[in-house]
A and B are shown apart, each in its own frame.
Chain A
Amino acid sequence: MIKRATRSQAKRLGDGALTIANAGWEAMGTALRSALTRTIRVAITGLSRAGKTVFTTNLIHSLLLAPARPHLLSFLEAVANGKLKDARIHSIEGMKKFPYEENLERLTRPAPEWPQATEELAGVRIEIRYRPANEAVARAIGWATLNIEIVDYPGEWLLDLPLLQMGFAEWSHGVLDLCAAGTRRKLAAPWLARMSEIDPDRPYGRASDLASDILSVSRAYHAFLQECRKEENGLKLLQPGRFLTGFEGSDAPPEKFLFSPLPTDGLAAAKSRKRPSPDTLRGQMERRFERYKREIVVPFYRRSFRHFHRQLVLVDVLTALNTGFESFYDTREALLRVMESFKFGRGSLLGSLFSGQWGRRIDRVFFAATKADHVTRTNHANLERLLEAMVGRKAEEIRSEGAQAGFGSVAAVNTTKNVLIDHEGAPLAVLEGILMNGPRVKRTYYPGDIPADLPTADYWLNNRFKVLAFAPPDLSKAAEEGIPPVRLGDALQFLIGDKLP
């Protein structure tokens, strides 16, 4: 009996010791695992209609399906070598959740539709669990975690960035310079006419007169911006960007933020001029301009751009090329202006915005020409080269700052198939897909070839290229099977591949 008692006591002691040992081991594992958990913030940037929302949706979807369907991201190393275990999504604190499920539902309907354009800031955190490359570590903890935070926002807001480096006079001068020629001149006529009726430097007696004049001129400018934005005009360099996407759901900006650029008499004189007095139109516009920057632009970028590590810039080269000479070069100019602000560590306000208090900088930028599925596959290389020609100068600057810049032609959803058809006895490389705004049957379309370098004005005169919009293919099984993209894995590999095995 004594023996039995001591034996049971010994057993309990042994069990207790084992429990403590297990707990200790688990605690060590948890500590090690959390030490190896990293967060990386990727900014998906792009002008309006570049395809950011669809791209983000399929990025999330492909990562979630990656363990079961590795063929969607074949060139993401961690998927190819089987080290990616699984992925989950969560919302980011203090930010609206990116509508991934709603967007996916729209795409997988019997009559699929593209997701709605982004109208406000939304974010998502993708938690990826993977098996570490180091065998010893992998045996100790099993898996490590990488969090990818992505923020989606309207592309128009990007164009407010350059405002931070300009004063009201400089900005006004720039806008009116652009309106001197081309489509803008035609569209700006009503607004310019309204402004010619008023002397911006005349002091006003009554405040109500001043207020009504401010509103009438600003509304005319707002109307002008909305005209420029229309598809047939295809102009992208439109500031302030927030005027176009509205403020948190409403159609037009609230009155207190409305303003308009005013004519200046030469840039040098304007810059040297003293601050105009508050009872003139110019004075009020300038104060509104500064207030817009202070209350809208700065907080927004502090909130969403400050701590980004990696950047993905989506550019819709094809639509710009398709619309015309003015649209193409306007898009290019808008892009260059936006990237003008992506300078790191220069000591300016923007520098501190991007480098953050702890000196974090954007160390990798991937420029992606979207909708690559709208040209035949032999044109993908040209598409990349065209994008490189558009932004090459800036890419060089980025590289000289010590960051890496990559280029690629991608498509969030591959809506077409490359086929060879018999056309008048010879083979012709065409695209097969379902056209937008038509019956859901497959048609074959020949888009032509695109140039590999920046086209001159006469390229559009004898145009051998025309892009046609395709609708999403049959994606009814996409929830389990995935949505085939074009080179999504390559883009991800450049952006986050070094953080994964």
Chain B
Amino acid sequence: MSEDLKASPPAPGLVEGPLWTGATAIVPAELPAPADTPRTRARPRRGRWFWGSALAFLAAVVLYDTASFLAAAWATNPILGGAFIVLFAMVLISAVVWIRGELREIRKLRRAEFDHDLALRIMEANQYGHALPFIEKLLPSLPVATSVRDRFMASVFDTHSDRDVFRLFGRIVLEPLDRQAYAFVNRAARDSAVGVAASPVAALDAAIALWRSLRMIRQVAGVYGFRPGMPGTFILGRRLLLGTALVATTDIVGNIWAEHLGSRLAGVLSTKLAEGVFAAVRVARLGLLAMELCRPLSFGKEDEPSLNRLRKEIVSAIMRL
């Protein structure tokens, strides 16, 4: 395995030549595919047609109504009509700006998934010279101090393999970010536990958990440099829920644990507190998934935060109440 394309290398000796300015021989797309298959999402085409056309119809009706209203207002009184038109223009312009911003954030989120795949490929191939350009591209968008950036760049030597470079990146740049995000998740889980335990109406439980989860998702995304508004958060949330659905079906241990804990807790605590703990664990799991999604690289074995540890912290926090 060599970095260069030389089919027949020269004899060993002193060689002269200008620095190679072309592309490096092995293009990342040609690296071997990652071992895990990416999650496939089957999207029914028929559903999209229905929703798309329904929304278009609704929009057309609204626009028609607005247009006729504005025309009537203008006909009645030019000044009032003019005012309404100006207001409508403002609404339209601000809507366009807002939508453009949201679409940009959504595209960033979409690209994050592509980055995970690419990073995994680079890691599995473990060659030289691919990890650093990849990281240099995403480093500007991460909210880290210049000193951290400098420290990372100083630590990378030309003798470090791609895997080494990713390890250094994880340790120097991502670890402090992970700690911040973990703190947010922890707090959100605890808040949900308290909220759900204290809520008088059962229907309020879901609302509390949902609101706190959305806020947590936005905080976690912010740690890694994303700033999604409502639509962005919604999309992120939906992707996460799909993730939890997958996890829930495979997390047999988690379910057993939940049952066991339930019977234990029911004896020690009131059912309300036990419910609080369940809600908190669900929120925590969602939080960890959010971290994984928003992170520039997926978690390695050594820096993945443990859900079990988080569960224990939640339970001990509840017991202290």
Residues in A lying within 8 Å of B, measured CB to CB: 70-71, 74-75, 80, 372-373, 376-378, 380, 414, 417-423, 426-430, 443-449, 463-466, 484, 486-487
Contacts and interface: CB of A to CB of B under 8 A. Distances in A.
Nearest to A77: B171
Interface in B89-132: 127-128
B141 to A, nearest CB: 24
Given A448-B12, A464-B12, A486 B18 contact: no
A71 B151 contact: yes
A430 B2 contact: no
B128 A449 contact: no
A420 B6 contact: no
B124 to A, nearest CB: 15
Interface stretch (B21-29, B233-241, B271-279): B21-29
B279 to A, nearest CB: 30
Contacts of B20: 420-422, 427-428
Given A70-B155, A378-B128, A444-B17, A426 B4 contact: yes
A465 B128 CA distance: 21
B38 interface: no
Nearest to A322: B12
A464 B8 CA distance: 11
Contacts of A486: 157, 159
Contacts of A427: 3-6, 20, 22, 24-25
Contacts of B24: 420, 427
Contacts of B55: none
Contacts, number: 108
B35 interface: no
A435 B43 CA distance: 62
B159 A372 contact: yes
A488 B299 CA distance: 26
Contacts of A484: 157
B9 A448 contact: yes
A426 B18 contact: no
A423 B128 contact: no
A89 to B, nearest CB: 25
Nearest to B152: A71
A71 B18 contact: no
B159 A380 contact: yes
A149 to B, nearest CB: 29
Nearest to A487: B159
A400 B256 CA distance: 40
B1 interface: yes
- Interface SS majority for chain B: loop
12 contacts: A74-B168, A80-B171, A377-B128, A378-B2, A419-B19, A420-B24, A423-B10, A423-B15, A423-B17, A427-B3, A448-B12, A484-B157
A420 B4 CA distance: 8
A185 to B, nearest CB: 30
* Among all A-B residue pairs, the 4 with the closest Cβ atoms: A448-B12, A466-B12, A421-B17, A420-B20
Given A71-B154, A376-B3, 10 more contacts: A75-B167, A376-B2, A419-B19, A421-B18, A421-B20, A428-B15, A444-B14, A449-B9, A464-B12, A486-B159
Interface in B271-310: none
A446 B10 contact: yes
B11 interface: yes
A376 B158 CA distance: 10
A414 B159 contact: yes
Contact of A71 (B17, B25, B155, B158): B155
A491 to B, nearest CB: 13
Contacts of B151: 70-71
Centre residue among B14, B25, B127 by max chain A CB count within 10 A: B14
B13 interface: yes
A426 B6 contact: yes
Contact of A422 (B19, B25, B128, B172): B19
A428 B16 contact: no
A447 B12 contact: yes
A373 B158 CA distance: 11
Contacts of A449: 2, 9
Nearest to A463: B12
Nearest to A69: B154
Nearest to B126: A381
Given A421-B20, A428-B4, A446 B15 contact: yes
A422 B1 contact: no
Contacts of A422: 17-22
A213 to B, nearest CB: 49
A446 B12 contact: yes
Interface in B122-174: 127-128, 151, 154-155, 157-159, 161, 164, 167-168, 171-172
A466 B14 CA distance: 11
A292 to B, nearest CB: 43
Contacts of B1: 378
A154 B24 CA distance: 45
B303 to A, nearest CB: 12
A430 B18 CA distance: 12
Contacts of B161: 377
A418 B12 contact: no
A414 B160 CA distance: 12
A422 B17 CA distance: 6
A422 B4 CA distance: 10
Nearest to A409: B159
Contact of B158 (A75, A372, A417, A464): A417
A451 B54 CA distance: 67
B164 to A, nearest CB: 8
Contacts of A74: 155, 168, 171
Given A378-B128, A420-B20, A443 B14 contact: yes
Centre residue among B25, B158, B172 by max chain A CB count within 10 A: B158
B168 A430 contact: no
Given A420-B4, A420-B20, A422-B19, A464 B155 contact: no
A463 B15 CA distance: 17
A429 B4 contact: yes
Contacts of B155: 70-71, 74
Contacts of B164: 75
B14 to A, nearest CB: 5
A61 B22 CA distance: 39
Nearest to A465: B12
Centre residue among A378, A445, A486 by max chain B CB count within 10 A: A378
A422 B10 CA distance: 13
Contacts of B158: 377, 417-418
Contacts of A429: 2-4
Given A418-B159, A447-B12, A428 B6 contact: yes
Contact of A444 (B10, B16, B22, B171): B16
B17 A445 contact: no
Centre residue among B9, B17, B158 by max chain A CB count within 10 A: B17
Nearest to A486: B159
Nearest to A73: B155
Centre residue among B3, B159, B164 by max chain A CB count within 10 A: B159
Given A421-B15, A427-B25, A446 B9 contact: yes
Contacts of A373: 159
Contacts of A71: 151, 154-155
Nearest to A430: B15
Contacts of B171: 74, 80
A295 to B, nearest CB: 46
A242 B238 CA distance: 75
A445 B25 contact: no
